[in-house]
Amino acid sequence: MTPDFEELYRLFKSRAEAAAAEVHRVKDIREAGELLTTLVKESGTTKVAAAPSRLVAKCLAGVSLPVPVYTEDLRTHAEEAHLGLSEMDLAVADIGSLQQDCTDINQRLVSMLPQVHVALVKTGSLVADLKEAFERLAQQKDRFPGYISFITGPSRTADIERVLTIGVHGPSQLKIIFIDEPGGDT
């Protein structure tokens, strides 16, 4: 990775952590699976709902999680799952946000209903700002997403008296795993 890239990663990490996200970076898909196993154990997870994608499948294939993992019928399983797992399309450094094509409702279910959302993102998908993110999206003219989501930290809301509450309308924890070498065509 170039020095500029390392600077972008540090910026993303600081901005995302300022929004209460937890940011990790691993070398490859094997390490991502090991970290996922640790996160499942540490969070007391009893059920995982995972939105199908090549990167999610590779991550899950390399591990034996100590809990049931559901990748189908997520309308039934996501609400009861303690941990949701999904792949992100981009990470935007200057705002510490993730971007995801949520056209498939399964992406929305696993990133919004479980208490913990683990987001997998290829390190090469890190961009500097929203302008670059939208330029990348514009390059997908033939398959432009029908529903785009930007995720910044865990769910938060405040009442009229400005009392902040985390996790009311979505996950109370966001854990991001950057994968330097996802392997293969993902």
Q: Using one digit for the tens of pLDDT, what is the confidence trace for 124-171?
A: 999 999 999 999 998 877 777 888 999 998 866 666 676 656 655 668
Beta strands in the chain (DSSP E): 22-28, 48-50, 69-70, 83-87, 90-92, 97-101, 116-122, 126-127, 148-151, 156-158, 164-166, 173-181
Rounded to whole angstroms, the Cα distance separating 21 from 111 reads: 13
Check the CA dihedral 40-181-104-171 and report its sign: positive
Q: Using one digit for the tens of pLDDT, what is the confidence trace for 4-37?
A: 889 999 999 999 999 999 999 999 999 999 999 9
Tokens describing residue 30: 């094997």
Rounded to whole angstroms, the Cα distance separating 91 from 1 reads: 16
- Name the least confident of 87-91, 97-101, 151-155: 151-155
Taking the whole predicted model, whether its pTM rises above 0.85 is answered as: yes
Query: Would you place residue 62 in the very low, low, confident or very high pLDDT band (cuts 50, 70, 90)?
Result: confident
Query: Would you place residue 186 in the very low, low, confident or very high pLDDT band (cuts 50, 70, 90)?
Result: very low
Lay out the sheet containing 90-92: strands in order across. 126-127, 90-92, 97-101, 148-151
Rounded to whole angstroms, the Cα distance separating 183 from 105 reads: 26
In the CATH hierarchy, which fold is given to the domain comprising 3-181?
Rossmann fold (3.40.50)
Q: Which residue has the tokens 């992406």?
A: 107
Segment holding 82, helix H or strand E: none
Rounded to whole angstroms, the Cα distance separating 176 from 60 reads: 16
Tokens describing residue 85: 């797992």
Q: Using one digit for the tens of pLDDT, what is the confidence trace for 33-61?
A: 999 999 999 999 999 999 999 999 999 99
Between strands 90-92 and 126-127, the pairing is parallel
Domain parsing of the chain, residue ranges: 3-181
Residue 153 in contact with residue 15, Cβ under 8 Å? no
